[in-house]
Amino acid sequence: MQSPPEEVTSGGTVGAETAPTVLTRQQIYEARRTDYNKLVDSARLLALILEKVDFKIQPNALNADKSELKRRLFPKTKIMSTGLDDGTCVANIIWEVDIKRKNKNVVKCIASYIISYQGVKDCSADGVTVFLENVGKVATYAYFRALYSQLDWGANLNSEPLPVIQFLPNFRKSSESTGPTPAAEV
């Protein structure tokens, strides 16, 4: 069964005899995929900056049995510039880890990174968003994982290392998803 067309029209000049075309959902995803692949080929990392770190630990986290602790990982991406005008896209990627003991936070670590790529051209804002959501997150995660391990070691928490993760490109916007994405328990 084919889904109904989206209320999205293609750009371009519209003459008296030409009406805007309505794109199907599949055509929208294919356009995002094409833009994403173009960006993977042309975009180059310009800067990756650790902007802010906040690490808090409660004393009762240190004497807790490891089986009582539940750790969760939350990534967030905020697009600051799509780069369609100047060729440089910028995003703020925020990584958050919290550890709960009996439903109370006993450890919290938040790190904020600013990441930018140059070489953004001939793409849509949707394509840039997909690129930053996937490539930008992966680029910053390695740095966050190393930072968190140092903070964990310094606090003598001795928790397991954060997992290695991989994001597969999702060509849907978050508003098009079927529901909220839960945090990953790690």
For position 23, what pLDDT does the model report?
A: 75
Phi and psi, residue 48, nearest 5°: -140, 110
List 112's β-bridge partners, or say none.
52, 94
- DSSP states of 63-85: SS-GGGEEEEEEEEEEEEE--TT
- Buried/exposed 13-25: b ≥16 CB within 10 Å, e otherwise: eeeeeeeeeebee
Decide: 81 and 176 in contact? Cβ < 8 Å: no
The pLDDT score that the predictor gives to residue 169 is 60
CA 61/CA 156 separation, integer angstroms: 10
Give tens-digit pLDDT for 164-185.
Answer: 886 666 666 555 554 444 455 5
Residue 185 contacts residue 71 (beta carbons within 8 Å): yes
Task: Kindly report, residue by residue over 69-98, the tens digit of the pLDDT.
Answer: 899 999 999 999 999 999 999 999 999 999
pLDDT at position 64 = 83
- In CATH, the architecture of 45-185 is Roll (3.10)
32 vs 16, more confident:
32
pTM (2 d.p.): 0.75
Which of 34-38, 108-112, 153-157 shows the lowest per-residue confidence on average (mean pLDDT)? Answer: 34-38
What sign for the dihedral angle of Cα 71, 114, 166, 182? positive
| Domain-wise residue ranges, the chain | 45-185
If 0-12 CB within 10 Å is exposed, 13-18 middle and 19+ buried, where does residue 49 land?
A: exposed
pLDDT tens track for 129-156? 989 988 999 999 999 999 999 999 999 9
Give the position of tokens 């805007």: 20
